[in-house]
Amino acid sequence: MMIGLDKIVSLLQKENLGPVMGVPCSVFKDFLNYIIDKKSFEHFACSSEGESLGIAAGFALAGKLPIIYMQNDGYGNAINPLSSLQLMYEIPALLMISWRGEPGKKDAPQHELMGETLLDLLSTFKIPYSIINEGNVDSQIINAKKYMKENQKPFA
């Protein structure tokens, strides 16, 4: 089920999350166009997931709870900076990860393996996650913020 952009953006703002950064991709096109057009958040388009995580770390150290968007294939690129920066030094960030190759959904074949293993990879790195939908988005954003504040670690 598609979650309305007005709803998700207002929830993120209400919980005082942001700024937003990441590697632009078509999955997040509508979200990015929305936040850029409405000037909902300070936004940083990055050239790599590592760059996004580095910028996010600076904002987190300044007391913010940054939002990083990435494709699940980009999560593979994010493993080193996540493990050697955010996880090691307990730096929070909300990771919005698209799920290309999600099991049971048709997608391009190059996304299948990462799609099948995404949740296992998040668990391997002890990054808690939730899969949001229209019915749980409010509670999941609140839970994510609570986890990040209490544990000073990323939540996906």
Domains in the chain: boundaries? 5-151
The share of the chain scoring above pLDDT 90, in percent, equals 88
Write b or e for each residue in 137-152: b if 16 or more Cβ atoms lie within 10 A of its Cβ, otherwise e: beebbeebbebbeeee
What pLDDT does residue 2 have? 57
The pTM for the full model equals 0.94
Element (H, E) at 113: helix 112-124
For the domain spanning 5-151, the CATH number is: 3.40.50.970
Per-residue pLDDT tens over the stretch 125-149: 999 999 988 889 999 999 999 999 9
Which residue in the block uniquely carries the two structure tokens 């050697």?
A: 84
- Reference 25, options 78, 85, 69; nearest CA is 69
Per-residue pLDDT tens over the stretch 97-113: 999 999 999 998 899 99
